Structure 1
Amino acid sequence: MSRPGVRLALLGALVLVIAVATLRFGSAKPDDSAGRRTTLEKIQRSGVITLGHRENSIPFSYFDDQQQVVGYAHDISVAIAREVQRELGMSGLTLKLVPVTSQTRIPLLINNTIDLECGTTTNNQVRGRQVGFSTNYFISGTRFLTRKGSGIHDLDDLAGRNVVVSAGTTSEIVLRRINAQRKLGIRIIAARDHGDAFVALEFGKAMAFMSDAAILYGEISKAKRPDDWHVVGTPMTEEVYACAMRKGDAEFKAVADRAIQRMMRDGDMRRLYARWFQAPIPPREVNLQVPLDPKLSALFAHPNDLPLQ
């Protein structure tokens, strides 16, 4: 692409990113806060908390048929926002929702566009050099989504084939590394997000979609014929999710951790899991029927015990 073309593409992406929706807890003042303030000071001054959300990551964070943001991780981010409101003693707080992708979520935190991102973001040491993380709230193994009858059962069956991943994810990094190490000859397609990756799979551009198993089950719910698809393969990595925030902001992290740990202690996190993974969900009212993994159950009982990867 020419340099003018690159500039236009980047400008278009920026316009998409800053197109936001707002949801009010109450009244708010205009945002005239400075980026150097702590997150809590910024929120108290402006009356606004800005939440990054995914557009198409069922069942974590996505738009329903009314174009409202819903999902397991979105409910957690809203709970954190309410905890922030209590911490600051504010009578009203506006939630400003900004769409993010795997590639934009960390840059938008660093440049103060968003204050918090709860989605499918893996808490690991590499990312921990750039951003801070809350208490861990989810665990999922990395596997493959493929059509039944494809003959694909595990990684070795994909040698010399096309595999799609979401750009900027740990799945992309791991697959590229293993592909090079084992000389499998896999042709890796990097899609913009999970939704685009599944479209590539549905249209036959790839034999499999590699991602966290929980994400893959969500993609099955979008299919015209969900029974045509299944998740296969030995888990290649274990992904532990947490909410991302600006690095070094201990006060804001303490509030986020308190909200998540209270949800675990009170049983709210298990109820959220049942709501989004074991019951019909919008927009198509498909039940993902994902059993609660023993490791995730243990995490709910003992939050933040897992080490960083």
Structure 2
Amino acid sequence: MRFVKLKTLFLAILCLGISLPAQGNSTLDYLRENRVLKVGIRDDAIPFGYRSNQGNLTGMCIDFIAILRQQILAEIGQDTLTIRLIESSLSNRFRLVEENIVHLECGPNTIRENTGFKITFSEAFFVSGTQFLLKTSQRTNINLNSDLANVSLGVLRGSTTEKYLRETYPEANLVLFQGNTGRTRGVQAVAQGNIDAMVSDGILLLGEGIVLGFDFNQTYTLLPSNPLTCDYYGMILPEDDLEWRELVNEAIAEFNTTQDQWLTEIRDYFNDAQNYCQSR
């Protein structure tokens, strides 16, 4: 299985930084005046944001930004808008928005009420949840209804998944990975037989596996087939900017009608996860 229709949006990056609006000014006012949209995007979250073989940021978030750009141009009545990408991470994504460094952050951000930051979320644009990536040959050795004693599970340090595993499977042997390449190294550890499974959001595990050339028909699998948790992803947005949030939500509504043109594997995963989580 391979990625198809990977689309890279060529972006003009400003050489000089432009400060974002002071508190009290709306994002759209800033965009009307400066015509520069600043977006936080991950490079470690396949298929949402990652580096292509040429080193360019690509992924579903790039496609979303292209749709959002058109929505903004129509709203502000202009014909030009420069996009500036700022690399975000699991640790700085909320701060980038709270400190007005970016206008939004696009990635696998689980919508929740208490983040400790002055931010808000858009409407959901994707749903995934906790799953185990393992070799199909190991499937009979991992019983999720047991305590998983002596089973080695890879997980990202400091993630909500680590907390979930410590609470649900305290007898499991957790192997912690960290940094932007942590998930990739965890998935590779499964392939090398160094751990029994890598645990994360299923869509992110699937994306990593596809890029690494995993055969999910025979050699590798996600367990269970439906996620253990249902985590809805939203864009991270500035707090108390309703007009901006409404415009982003309009772009998400359009994006949701086109995103199934991406990979067959991800389209099927999204539909299955969405149907399962909506039925819970």
- Identify whether the pair has TM-score above 0.5, normalized to the shorter chain: yes
Deviations 1:91-122 (A, max 9, x none): 21111111222122112111222211121111
C-alpha displacement of 1:254:
1.1
Higher relative contact order (CA 8 A, sep 6+): 2
Q: Which amino acid aligns with 2:84?
A: K
Partner SS, residue 123 of structure 1:
coil
Cα distance in 2 for residues equivalent to 1:131 and 1:220: 32
Deviations 1:275-306 (A, max 9, x none): 2231xxxxxxxx5573553563699xxxxxx8
Percentage identity across aligned positions? 23
**Which residue number in structure 1 is paired with residue 221 of structure 2?**
230
1:165 equivalent to 2:155? Answer yes
Cα distance in 2 for residues equivalent to 1:298 and 1:145: 19
Q: Which amino acid aligns with 1:110?
A: E
Partner SS, residue 186 of structure 2:
helix
C-alpha displacement of 1:237:
0.9
C-alpha displacement of 1:224:
4.7
**Which residue number in structure 1 is paired with residue 6 of structure 2?**
none
Say if 2:41 and 2:105, in contact at 8 Å, map to a contact too.
Answer: yes
Say if 2:20 and 2:101, in contact at 8 Å, map to a contact too.
Answer: no
1:68 alignment partner, one of 46, 56, 59: 56
> Given the superposition, is the C-alpha separation of residues 40 and 168 from structure 1 closer, same or farther in structure 2, using an over 3 Å criterion?
farther
> Given the superposition, is the C-alpha separation of residues 23 and 276 from structure 1 closer, same or farther in structure 2, using an over 3 Å criterion?
same
After TM superposition, the score normalised by the length of structure 1 is 0.73
**Which residue number in structure 2 is paired with residue 154 of structure 1?**
144
Cα distance in 2 for residues equivalent to 1:190 and 1:176: 15
RMSD: 3.1
Residue correspondences, number:
262
1:197 equivalent to 2:186? Answer yes
Cα distance in 1 for residues equivalent to 2:267 and 2:242: 37
> Given the superposition, is the C-alpha separation of residues 231 and 64 from structure 1 closer, same or farther in structure 2, using an over 3 Å criterion?
same
Matches within 5 A, 1:43-58: 43-58=31-46
> Given the superposition, is the C-alpha separation of residues 202 and 68 from structure 1 closer, same or farther in structure 2, using an over 3 Å criterion?
same
After TM superposition, the score normalised by the length of structure 2 is 0.79
**Which residue number in structure 1 is paired with residue 171 of structure 2?**
184
2:203 alignment partner, one of 210, 214, 223: 214
Cα distance in 2 for residues equivalent to 1:255 and 1:165: 35
2:18 alignment partner, one of 31, 51, 58: 31
C-alpha displacement of 1:173:
3.1
**Which residue number in structure 2 is paired with residue 290 of structure 1?**
268
Say if 2:38 and 2:102, in contact at 8 Å, map to a contact too.
Answer: yes
When structure 1 is superposed on structure 2, of 144-153 and 121-130 the one drifting more is: 121-130
Unaligned runs of 5+ in 1: 1-20, 279-286, 300-305
Say if 1:143 and 1:235, in contact at 8 Å, map to a contact too.
Answer: yes
Partner SS, residue 256 of structure 2:
helix
1:100 alignment partner, one of 88, 91, 102: 88
